[in-house]
Amino acid sequence: MRIELLHIEGCPNTGPAGSRLREAVASAGLDGVADVCLRLLGNRDDAAAVYFAGSPTFLVDGADLFPGAERTSDLACRVYPTDAGLAGAPTVEQLRDALLAAAAQGANGR
């Protein structure tokens, strides 16, 4: 399982998103099976080459972990709905649940 955190330079949500992602991977028990990387998108061409829906975007094997947001090549921010309202990154629990669902889909051959 390849997990990418796509982000843009200067995004204030990259740090919290990365920390939450690492915690969610551990909480989901995916430490040994997930290859996690942060990927900086430096220009519109970089953003257009992947499924990017704003910074931060979480991809699992190339698919958006939180589908529904429109793809963009704009170097822009993204917001996520949480129980506390809109936020610049999903909660650890949201990430863990989405990762477990993606892992189950992968195990079932998607």
Query: Is 101 in contact with 83 (CB distance < 8 Å)?
Result: no
Query: Within a 10 A sphere around the Cβ of 25, how many other Cβ atoms?
Result: 21
- Strand pairing partners for 35? 2
Q: What is the pLDDT of residue 106?
A: 74
Question: Where does 1-110 have alpha helices with state H?
Answer: 14-27, 44-48, 92-107
Q: Is the pLDDT of residue 110 over 60?
A: no
Q: What is the predicted pLDDT for the residue at 105? A: 86
Considering the entire predicted model, what is its pTM? Answer: 0.93
**Which range has the worst mean pLDDT, 1-10, 57-66, 81-90, 99-108?**
99-108
Q: How confident is the model at residue 108 (pLDDT cuts 50, 70, 90)?
A: low
Other CB atoms within a 10 A radius of the CB of residue 63 amount to 13
